Amino acid sequence: MGSRREVEGWLEAGRIKLNGKVASPGDQAGEGDHLALDGKVIHLDAAMMPERRVLIYHKPVGEMTTRKDPEGRPTIFDQLPRLDRGRWVSVGRLDFNTSGLMILTTDGQLAARLMHPSRRLVREYAVRLRGELSPEAVEKLTTGVRLEDGPARFEEILDGGGRGQNHWYHVILREGRYREVRRLFEAVGATVSRLIRVRYGPVELPSDLPRGKWRELKPGPVRALMDAAELVPEAPLAEAPTQSTGNPARAKKTRRKRPASPNPD
């Protein structure tokens, strides 16, 4: 009936009543409850409730992660399967020039909990720099630098190798501030020429999922996300057809050193 922000506005304005009382954020309603918006009864039944679906999308450079762009640029939502009920909610964002893993779900509560700073879920990126980091720069980036919105650091930096002026690193952090990876490298004078998100929490970007394609997660990975969000599955878990062809996009995982990206140019 509206976006999350619209409904939150209705709640703040007291326009929604649950069982005769003004509803508040966090109230739950289901079959048998009396729900009304501006005095108009909303009939609840199981058929209205969208299935909990979760998919991953390999975002290419050049797409926005907003639903609509004022400049008319393509968005990730243009590529996603259409829903009969509910809507896709993205778990975090990637900027226009960043590619890689996006997680999308029909469960707004799941998305909100996965993004909440208290969860401290791992975000891992493959980063191509122009040149190598000095030991001093690595030390500074892992102990902390001060950005305009507060201190920040990488939890780990793994050397991925490279050739010429192109050198790859894998970096891990547990928050998702705006352009944080790029700003951290800029703070030590390093220039990022390519940035790919390869992991978010327990979900990794599959090596065989091409850019611009999506894949529905199976119940096992969805339950792993639910566990990471500390949510108990209530809605049914659904599966959908997959789209899966293409080139590897992730370096093989190691503890201390990573090989170069499959696409080092």
Annotated catalytic residues are 95
Q: Are 184 and 195 in contact (CB under 8 A)?
A: no
Cα–Cα distance for residue pair 193/211, rounded to 1 Å: 18
Angle (nearest 5°) at CA 199 between 254 and 3? 175
CA distance 216 to 103: 10
Give the phi and the psi of residue 148 in degrees, each rounded to 5: -65, -20
Task: Please return the burial class of 136, using the count of CB atoms within 10 Å of its CB with bins 0-12, 13-18 and 19+.
Answer: exposed
**Three-state DSSP state, 120:** coil
Q: Are strands 192-200 and 99-105 parallel, antiparallel or unpaired?
A: parallel
CA dist., res. 244 & res. 259, Å (int): 24
C-alpha pair distances (Å), 107 with each of 9, 55, 59, 76, 229: 19, 11, 20, 18, 12
**CA 198, CA 131: separation in Å to the nearest integer?**
21
Cα–Cα dist 61/195, whole Å: 9
